[in-house]
Amino acid sequence: MKRTKIVATLGPATDRPGVLEQMLRAGTDVVRLNFSHGTAADRERRVREVRQAAAALGRDVAVLGDLQGPKIRIERFAGGAIELADGAPFVLDAGLAADAGDQGAVGVTYRDLPRDVRPGDTLLLNDGAITLDVERVAGSRVECVVRVGGTLSGGKGINRQGGGLSAGALTDKDRGDIELAARLELDYLAVSFPRDAADMDEARGLLRAAGGEAPLVAKIERAEAVAHIEEIAGASEVVMVARGDLGVEIGFAEVPGVQKNIIRIARAHNRVVITATQMMESMIHEPIPTRAEVSDVANAVIDGTDAVMLSGETAVGRHPVKAVEAMASACRAAERQRVTSTSHHRMDEVFQRTDEAIAMAAMYTANHMDVRAIVALTESGNTALWMSRIRSGIPIYAFSRNEATRRRVALYRGVYPVPFDVLAQRGEAESEAVCRALLDRGLVASGDRILLTEGHAAGIAGGTNSLRILSAP
């Protein structure tokens, strides 16, 4: 089975009849709702359709909501797109009307832009396709010279090279969307453009106040976030390497090294990590990926990412199902490399929690014995999470009675959720039920060795305190 999980973004392309079900069959483990597009009604409908499709397939599929965040953009041009020539003057004017842009100037959505920039700064528009050098700041006007020109249309993003724009991570729209995320009981909530741990803490407070319990995903897409990655990882359950805006801010050449470092730090903090943006971008139009895209996915898998993400490839692309199939194939091929199944994670550390120590002991045992399956009887999913931090080729099955827990662990690398009521039987009857569940699903054969972790006090989160070695009857 594929160990690396696939996050697929929903959109118009996935609304076509039968497409969503085919994507789930092809290997989608988590679906993403991009709050930058569509309406609340669209999101409610898609959540309902995902959960219905997953139930029909007997699957536990997580839903990730992705807040828009303070995306800084230019306003619109009165006469449509313009052509900017190298060396031409161009003004970003925070005081200009939203639809009054012309060949010489355009408005901006971020009114504090003149306060945040100074002469000598470099501004990047349209994901870095256009480069402006700031010459002068006068009132609401940021006067620039075009270094790299091209076609520019309204609504394109603005980044300051090296970061430094002071816009907060949460907008008024985001605050409303957090309430919607709580009401829809989303399984994960992604915070766009956080600068530090305080931004994640604010989002968590708003989500909890709205009644939501979803774990938070910190999208690393600002230069400031890279500088504060340790504290952001500590304040989040999941870290996403969001390479689009990140590449614009720090320079595309820096992204591969930063990506590897973020994955390493996230795993060291026992955090889940998603690698995202333009992984198979050509498949928005083409039926097969490029070799470079396959290598990109494979390298993220080898580095230890939990999940890889498809954005426009599935949301608006011509071949959403083929994109999932191609990504799943690339993941499986990379997982055959030995480096993906060997680990020295936390080998020299002292564990403070019994359940974490049991999880680590189970993985060490599994990697040094002939074991077919690892089963964690879990309420919260924490034992399965800790297990998944250890590189191994042995599948980890999270047996849980909690549907929310099963959906959550669907994002963890190498972890597969299985419905199981831990309170229904104990002792030998429980062991027999675990073995029977694996045998009935064709996951083990008679005589196979199984590792089982559980708590003596059943049904209590954080109570895992024992490891048993079973043999399937």
The residues assigned a catalytic role are 32, 73, 219, 277
Q: Which residues pair with 77 in a beta bridge?
A: 101
Q: DSSP character for 107?
A: E
Q: Helix 320-335 and helix 19-26: axis angle, to 10°? A: 10
Amino acid at 190: A
In this structure, is the dihedral angle defined by the CA atoms of residues 367, 368, 371 and 373, taken in order, positive or negative? negative
Tokens 């996230």 sit on residue? 266
What is the rounded distance in angstroms from the CA atom of residue 183 to the CA atom of residue 78? Answer: 40
Residue 371 CA from chain centroid, whole number: 30
Q: Residue 200's closest CA among 223, 226, 234, 172?
A: 234
Q: Which residues pair with 34 in a beta bridge?
A: 66
Q: Where are the extended beta strands (E) located within 128-271?
A: 130-138, 141-148, 150-152, 158-160, 188-191, 216-220, 238-242
The sheet that has 130-138: what strands, in order across it? Answer: 105-107, 89-93, 141-148, 130-138, 122-125, 158-160
CA neighbours within 13 Å on the CB side: how many for 82? Answer: 22
Mark out the alpha helices in 228-381 (DSSP H runs). 229-234, 243-250, 255-268, 291-303, 312-315, 320-335, 354-366
Distances (CA, A) of 93 to 75, 79, 90, 98, 416: 10, 17, 10, 10, 52
Q: Residue 203's closest CA among 175, 231, 240?
A: 175
What is the rounded distance in angstroms from the CA atom of residue 391 to the CA atom of residue 134? Answer: 48
Q: Which residues pair with 346 in a beta bridge?
A: none
Q: What is the CA radius of gyration of the chain?
A: 24
What is the rounded distance in angstroms from the CA atom of residue 199 to the CA atom of residue 216? Answer: 11
Other residues' Cβ atoms within 10 Å of the Cβ of residue 469: 13
Write out the two tokens for 425: 């039987």
